[in-house]
Amino acid sequence: MLHFFVALVVLTPLPLGCVYPWSWGLLAVGIGCVLGIWCFRLLAGKAPLAVPLTAVWPTLLPFFLVVAWIVLQMVSATPDSWHHPAWSWPASAFNAAPSSRITVDPATTSAALTRLITYGAIFWLALQYGRDRRAAQMMIKALVFAAVAFSLYGLVVELSEIRMVLWFPKATAIDDLSSTFVNRNTFATYAGLALVCVSGLILARVEGRMANTDDLADSVDRGIDAIIARSSTLIAGWLLIASALLLTHSLGGIFSTVLALASLVALYIYARGARREVIIGLATGAIVLLGAAVVVGSTGWEERFNQALWNQPDDRGKLALLSLQGIEERPLLGTGYGTFETYFEYRRPADMEPRYTKAHNTYLESAVELGLPAAVMLVAVFVSIAVRTWRGARRRRRDAVYPCIGFSATVLVCVHSLLDFSLQIPAVTAAYCLIAGIACAQADPSEPTVHRRSRTRASDQPPDRL
Amino acid sequence: MATLIANGTGQPHDGARGASTDPIGRAQRWTVGVVLAFLAVFLVVMGSQFIMASLAGFAGAPVLAKLRQAIPVSAHEAKDLLSAKQDEMKWLESGEAAIDSGLARLLIAESLPADAKERDRLVAAAASDLKQGLAAAPLSGRGWARLAYSLAALEGWSPAAMTALRFSIAAAPFEPSLTLFRLRMGLEAWPHLDARDRASVLQQIRYAAKVDLKALALLAEERQSIPVVRAALRDQPHVLAELDRLRTQTGRDPQRRSGG
């Protein structure tokens, strides 16, 4: 069951990032089945509650409050004064009396709620399965290998100038790599998440080898040996994913990834007390490598930088203002989760392009749709994950890299969400939830003060053998 | 055998295989199990609904894509769209699907001769679908525009038809794909409109001038509404000049038809 779960999550980018209802519907059914079986085994006493509610309540409580609020947005039992004024239109036009609600489109809101609960379920299953260190490692590696495969596909398509996404002709950003995703920025976030994971694995391997000696020269030798001889597969994967990321020409994606990698290195040094000079040297090398690839890799960059610095690249500023206007209109209630596109059509000014369906800022879009209190709750979910993984990185001796990866992945998605909508693409959010679940599961020390010997043996076994 | 795993507070917690003897651990296990089992059922049911609705609606997707690109569709394609949307609605109660179903019926009606008896029946059925769709998704500019069209076809420019047109403009005031369609109706209903609705139509004319001035010029000629269009654009002399140039290009005399 663990393998089926991992396969489901890591293959989500394949059907165009799971953006269509049939594809995220399949993901929801698959994850629902895994969760149902997990529950059955838990209730039958055949599977452990590896991470208890008490350990993750700061994440679960705001999540369930948001879910409860979305359900309230969809039901008609709420006070009429809360309902969107558009619900009075059918009555005045053709004497119909529909069940009015807070959301302007209950079908769209129910679709968005289904996706949100799917993400929550992925987080929960990763949290429970990821408590076991071997399962955690397997899941992270599976994600990395899948990302390498998708990057390789993207590179082949890009370099052969096929200009297709699977068997569909590319409609947007024709010269940029987007792999199996429709949008290059979305793939950039996905690749960034994978790059954080593979960087974490390399970092842990190198630092583990270097930590065994006090002599700097010997330490560097061991580090180089760890990179060349023992991490060649990971290094090859890193280079492939990084190349694909660069060819997306996504400034926001690259910026968030660099920030996430910097936070990974900083937290790892802070948490492990590793040799700063060597780790910083490695990190600098990686960033220089990325920078060099930017300079020599493609001509698309120059255009992108010029566009971002000197020209108005798009209507993002106007979108932000429009979103603020939406928040001002319904600050507490929102227009209904998932209904930004409808709101946008309703309030779009004449001088704005109609091509936008998202606010290009997940925080503002969530505030428009959910209202401010629920949007703050949704942000609190990410803050709680960041806090838990930060603490975990500091607390853990062995496997501190997982909480570090989780923290950096959170930095990546939270920063990128300021500029784009990657978290609204199921494949990206599924990957993030997998990483976050594993990181939160591994945030607690594996060796308690009591029953140390028996615990260590137990932790070497998978939490269950589904 | 019980396995103790330290939780965040440093207290051991139950990670046991088999039933826990700790009442708190057992309560937590049951709470988690029952709540998550409910969510698992929700995911399976909702996910299946969306999959089935998508599969049912697949046949209509190419037709909708054509319509979005303003490519005319045949009666046969419109029937495919209708059948797909009807199937989709069996699986999922969606305002959008009902609105598209209404559109399909209108397209089939349009393909029939003007005096065909079947035509009125189809337009009435379209209006019924559109009302159903708008009762589920009231902020659909497309839905209101199509309802205004069907009501006007059935009963002329009745108050209900004009209200539908008004709501279409209110729901999506600056939607390029709807502007000319609504403007055609607005210019047709012009004599029946009050001052507020006329102001909305004038605003649509200004927007249409920005979106597609040539199409606006042709529409104004076709509907013999040059004075209204010129009145809407009177603060934009350069646009007016361009409008007149376009009308000359299409073989019209701007002075004669516009009333000067």
Please answer yes or no on whether B137 and A104 come within 8 Å at the CB atom: yes
Pairing of strands A168-169, B12-14: unpaired
Counting the structural domains of chain A, the total is: 1
> Which of B 213-242 lie inside 8 A of A, CB atoms?
none
Taking contacts as CB-CB distances below 8 angstroms, the residues of chain B near A46 are: 17-18
User: Would you state the pLDDT for residue B27?
Assistant: 86
The residue in chain B having the minimum alpha-carbon distance to the alpha carbon of residue A122 is B40
Grouping H, G, I as helix, E, B as strand and the rest as coil, residue B232 is: helix
Please answer yes or no on whether B174 and A352 come within 8 Å at the CB atom: yes
User: What is the b/e burial string over B84-119, where b = at least 16 CB atoms within 10 angstroms of the residue's CB?
Assistant: bbbbbbebbebbbbbbbbbbbbbbbbbbeeeeeeeb
Please answer yes or no on whether A36 and B92 come within 8 Å at the CB atom: no
Asked, for residue A464, whether it belongs to a domain, the answer is no
- Taking the C-alpha atoms of residue B229 and residue B233, their distance in angstroms, rounded to an integer, is 6
**How many Cβ atoms are within 10 Å of A351's Cβ, its own excluded?**
10
Taking contacts as CB-CB distances below 8 angstroms, the residues of chain A near B173 are: 348, 350
User: Measured between CA atoms, how close is A345 to chain B, in angstroms?
Assistant: 5
B152 in Cβ contact with B187 (< 8 Å): no
CATH class belonging to B40-156: mainly alpha
Pairing of strands B4-6, A164-165: unpaired
Taking contacts as CB-CB distances below 8 angstroms, the residues of chain B near A51 are: 5, 7
Average pLDDT across chain B, whole number: 86
User: Would you state the pLDDT for residue B25?
Assistant: 79
**How many Cβ atoms are within 10 Å of B6's Cβ, its own excluded?**
20
- Give pTM, 2 decimals: 0.88
Residue of B17, B28, B47 lying closest to A114 (CB–CB): B47
User: Would you state the pLDDT for residue B255?
Assistant: 46
B185 in Cβ contact with B154 (< 8 Å): no
User: Would you state the pLDDT for residue A279?
Assistant: 66
Asked, for residue A92, whether it belongs to a domain, the answer is no
Quote the radius of gyration of chain A (alpha carbons, Å): 23
User: Would you state the pLDDT for residue A214?
Assistant: 64
Beta bridge partners of B5: B13
- Taking the C-alpha atoms of residue A283 and residue B166, their distance in angstroms, rounded to an integer, is 60
Asked, for residue A94, whether it belongs to a domain, the answer is no
Average pLDDT over residues B220-245: 90
A205 in Cβ contact with A279 (< 8 Å): no
Taking contacts as CB-CB distances below 8 angstroms, the residues of chain B near A106 are: 136-137
Residue of A42, A94, A114 lying closest to B32 (CB–CB): A42
User: Measured between CA atoms, how close is B38 to chain A, in angstroms?
Assistant: 8
- Taking the C-alpha atoms of residue A250 and residue A300, their distance in angstroms, rounded to an integer, is 10
Distance of CA B203 to the CA centre of its chain: 20
Return all residues near B2 (Cβ < 8 A) that are at least 6 apart: B14, B15, B16, B20, B21
Q: What is the pLDDT along chain A (466 residues), one digit of tens a residue?
A: 899 999 999 999 999 989 999 999 999 999 999 999 999 999 998 888 999 888 899 999 999 999 999 999 999 999 999 999 999 999 888 888 788 999 999 999 999 999 999 999 999 999 999 999 899 999 999 999 999 999 999 999 888 877 777 878 777 777 888 888 988 999 999 999 999 999 999 888 887 776 666 666 776 677 677 677 777 889 999 999 999 999 998 888 999 999 999 999 889 888 877 666 666 676 677 677 666 666 555 555 556 655 555 454 567 888 888 999 999 999 999 999 999 999 999 998 888 887 788 888 999 999 999 999 999 999 999 999 999 999 999 888 788 899 999 999 999 999 999 988 989 999 999 999 999 999 999 998 865 544 444 444 444 333 333 3
Beta bridge partners of B6: B12
User: Would you state the pLDDT for residue A89?
Assistant: 94
Sorting pLDDT into bands at 50, 70 and 90, what band is B12? Answer: very low
Please answer yes or no on whether B43 and A31 come within 8 Å at the CB atom: yes
Asked, for residue A318, whether it belongs to a domain, the answer is no
Please answer yes or no on whether A54 and B135 come within 8 Å at the CB atom: no
B45-84: per-residue pLDDT in tens?
Answer: 999 999 999 999 988 999 999 988 888 899 999 999 999 9
B132-166: per-residue pLDDT in tens?
Answer: 999 999 999 999 999 999 999 999 999 999 999 99
Backbone angles phi, psi at A258, to 5 degrees: -60, -40
> Which of A 411-450 lie inside 8 A of B, CB atoms?
443-446, 448-450
User: Measured between CA atoms, how close is A284 to chain B, in angstroms?
Assistant: 34
Helix (H) or strand (E) holding A169: strand A168-169
B116 touches chain A (CB under 8 A): no
Domain of A273 in residue numbering reads as 2-84+100-313+357-459
Helices A106-129 and A53-74 pack at an angle, to 10 degrees, of 170
Please answer yes or no on whether B40 and A49 come within 8 Å at the CB atom: no
pLDDT higher than threshold 70 for residue B260: no
List helix spans (H) across A330-444.
Answer: 340-347, 362-370, 372-395, 401-416, 426-441
Q: Which tokens in the block code for residue A21? A: 């209802």
Asked, for residue A347, whether it belongs to a domain, the answer is no
Which residue did the predictor score with more confidence, B4 or A390? A390
Average pLDDT over residues B200-225: 91
Interface test with A, best of B11, B46, B166 (most A CBs within 10 A): B46
Asked, for residue A349, whether it belongs to a domain, the answer is no
User: Would you state the pLDDT for residue A358?
Assistant: 86
Asked, for residue A346, whether it belongs to a domain, the answer is no
Taking contacts as CB-CB distances below 8 angstroms, the residues of chain B near A455 are: 3-5
Question: Which amino acid belongs to residue A344?
Answer: F
pLDDT higher than threshold 60 for residue B252: no
Grouping H, G, I as helix, E, B as strand and the rest as coil, residue A442 is: coil
Domain ranges of chain B: 40-156, 173-260
The residue in chain B having the minimum alpha-carbon distance to the alpha carbon of residue A458 is B3
The residue in chain A having the minimum alpha-carbon distance to the alpha carbon of residue B171 is A346
User: Would you state the pLDDT for residue A458?
Assistant: 40
- Taking the C-alpha atoms of residue A346 and residue A354, their distance in angstroms, rounded to an integer, is 11
A426: left (phi over 0), alpha (psi -120 to 50) or beta: alpha
> Which of B 64-93 lie inside 8 A of A, CB atoms?
92-93
